[in-house]
Amino acid sequence: MQPREKIAFLASSAAIAQEAQKALADAHGAVPPEDADVIVALGGDGFMLQTLHGTQDLDKPVYGMNCGTVGFLMNEYDESGLSERLAMANEEIINPLHMRAIGSDGKIHEALAINEVSLLRAGPQAAKLRISVDGKVRMEELVCDGALVATPAGSTAYNYSSHGPILPIGSDVLALTAMSAFRPRRWRGALLPKSAKVRFDVLEPSKRPVMADADSRSNHGVISVEIRSEPSVRHRILFDPGHGLEERLIREQFV
């Protein structure tokens, strides 16, 4: 049990989240994130990702309370007993992915992604991608709507909706998943060690443009994308006992 007395409350722009922020701040007091023992994020999964990215340099645990439509990374919203819940919460450590994308104009774009880095066709024709892992070409040509690399924490998001596998937390594995693969027909992807470095080269980029997306932050007209895990960055996420990521990942596979 770890007392967390100084709380920062951050809320999405949704009216219900703004109302919750005011009620909780009035009940518990509030401090800026840099002075807090814990940050409470009020919203849905999208806002939780935004909060984690925005506070990653503070090394503060983040406890999400669901005030949105999707809440895989969130705890149930309840104004009562918050101090006790924060003290009893279990902590999960998540390492993000690092994306380095090169555009057709030669510009380099870098970003971190907690859930996934995805490549998506940006025109009417399917994308053509070459896939390399740790410097070795593994697939000369994948014709598809897109492909992604997902962390265990993000494996139930876009990856799962694209028929990729759910990865247990702590498995030190990444999912490489294709979206609507045409050739090779019905290729679903691969499981890779967390240490793997994945590179996508875009074939025929002028005819078949591709965009790269890191947790919904997009770069258009990319010609190559390199993806690797970033162990130097840690996201600390708090969950109520018995409702952590491991339990959620298992439960998600039986619904």
Q: Indicate which residues carry an active-site annotation.
A: 45
Residue (of 142, 216, 139) closest to 178 by Cα position? 142
Of 196, 233, 193, the closest CA to residue 113 belongs to 233
Whole-angstrom Cα distance, residue 88 to residue 121? Answer: 45
In 67-216, which ranges are E strands?
Answer: 90-94, 97-103, 108-113, 116-121, 127-133, 136-144, 146-150, 173-179, 189-193, 198-203, 210-214
- Say if CB 209 and CB 221 are below 8 A apart: yes
